[in-house]
Amino acid sequence: TDTLLNIEGLSLEFKTNRGRVKALRNISFPVRKGRILGIVGESGSGKSTVLWSTLGLLAGNAEVTAGRVDYGDSDLLTLDAEGLRALRGEEVSVVFQDPMTSQIPVLPYARQMSDILYRRSMSEAEKRTAAVDMLRRVGIPDPDARVDAYPHQFSGGMRQRAGIAMSMLTGPNLLLADEPTTALDVTMEAQMIGLMRGLRDDFDTTIVVVSHNLGLIAEMCDDVVVMYAGEVVETGEVHDIFHNARHPYTRALLECDPARIADVSRKLPVIPGDIPDLTKPLRGCIFASRCQKVMPACRSTTPPLVERGTGVARCHLLSGPFADGGWPPPNGE
């Protein structure tokens, strides 16, 4: 499969009054064309920051310190504001967790959706037809009338469908979604997963979705990136990650009844311990403070990223003296 978007060596810091938080460190992964890639991690793992950094949608105190985000011939990190706006208007779309933050309360959907098509040489009637067709495609009942509704007249689930319709209107190559179903109930969430997979199939849109919900990732995605405390710890295809996880963090996330992995109501389990202070110099494996398999070497030496299965993983158990030796006992005895 071709790579549509390639994140390479991305590092980012937030300037705060506690010091510089090294929020992303050397993040690399490809997004394959026509696939749905899920980025999963706890809050604070940097998963949303990776997503928004690709479009320059970052807080004012964020600073990219290294890396590139290649899309076609351009490095998105070097595009100016106008270049990013043009890209967002046509080729790349976003779906937010809360549609109320991205939909304009005082404008009916017909107007908001025709505004999205402002670059197109279409008549107002054609834009309205396009809006109605897309609302119908995402499952809004009676779209000919509902296109004149305001966001507050829709239920939460309908609003998220309308949000997806708005983001699909230009037929984007790439759709970025941050926790798109978090505000919805389980039934609605399952419907939304089906909807987004269907849209990917119909429009050949590549999707990157950020979630802390393993069930959603298992049901919706083809590829997974597991993040922990600002690093990629493991990547792979969904079937591979869910059956052959190699990193102790991924394994800890998956520790539960395998029959429930595809349960969309399943959120990340709580793993005891704290993530390291990302304002301090970091040494060794980032997961050492919480890892059940920690060995002395883990606290002093950063494990390399090694290729395994359909992706990569970063753990001393996969390389060096412990390579291919399965799971040595704690402390390397």
Q: Which residues bind ligand SF4 (CB under 6 A)?
A: 248, 285, 287-288, 291, 293-295, 298, 303, 315-317
**Residue 324 CB, nearest distance to ligand SF4 (Å)?**
14
Identify what 293 binds: ligand SF4, Mg ion, none; CB under 5 to 8 Å per kind.
ligand SF4
CB of residue 302 vs ligand SF4: minimum separation in angstroms? Answer: 9
For residue 69, the SS3 value is strand
Task: Report the site for Mg ion in 15-74 (rule: CB under 5 A).
Answer: 48
- Cβ 226 vs Cβ 253: under 8 Å: yes
Single-letter residue type at 136: R
201: left (phi over 0), alpha (psi -120 to 50) or beta: alpha
CB of 226 to ligand SF4, least distance (A): 11
Least distance from ligand SF4 to the Cβ atom of residue 268, Å: 17
Q: Hey, is 4 helix, strand or coil? A: strand
When the beta carbons of 176 and 315 are compared against ligand SF4, the nearer one is 315
Identity of the residue, 162 or 305, whose beta carbon is nearer to ligand SF4 in the bound complex: 305
Residue 199 binds which entry of ligand SF4, Mg ion, none, with Cβ cut-offs from 5 to 8 Å by kind? Answer: none
- Going from the C-alpha of 154 to that of each of 92, 109, 251, 253, the distances in angstroms are 25, 11, 40, 35
Nearer to Mg ion, 48 or 167 (CB): 48
Nearest to Mg ion of 182, 289 (CB atom): 182
Of the candidates 238, 231, 203, the residue with the CA atom closest to the CA atom of residue 33: 203
Amino acid at 321: P
> In the bound complex, what is the minimum distance in angstroms from residue 48's beta carbon to ligand SF4?
23
Q: Which does 303 bind (CB under 5 to 8 A by kind): Mg ion, ligand SF4, none?
A: ligand SF4
Closer residue to ligand SF4, CB minimum distance, 5 or 315: 315
Q: Does an H or E element contain 42, and which?
A: none
- Find tokens 């793992």 and name the residue: 45
> Is 23 in a helix, a strand, or coil?
strand
- Minimum separation from the CB atom of position 177 to Mg ion (A): 11
Beta bridge partners of 6: 30, 70
Using CB under 5 A as the binding rule, whether residue 181 contacts Mg ion is answered as no
Q: Could you give the C-alpha distances from 162 to 111, 115, 172, in angstroms and in order?
A: 13, 15, 16
Residue 217 or 291 with smaller CB distance to ligand SF4: 291
Q: Which option in ligand SF4, Mg ion, none does residue 48 bind, with CB closer than 5 to 8 A by kind?
A: Mg ion
8-state DSSP, 105: T
User: Contact residues for Mg ion (CB under 5 A)?
Assistant: 48
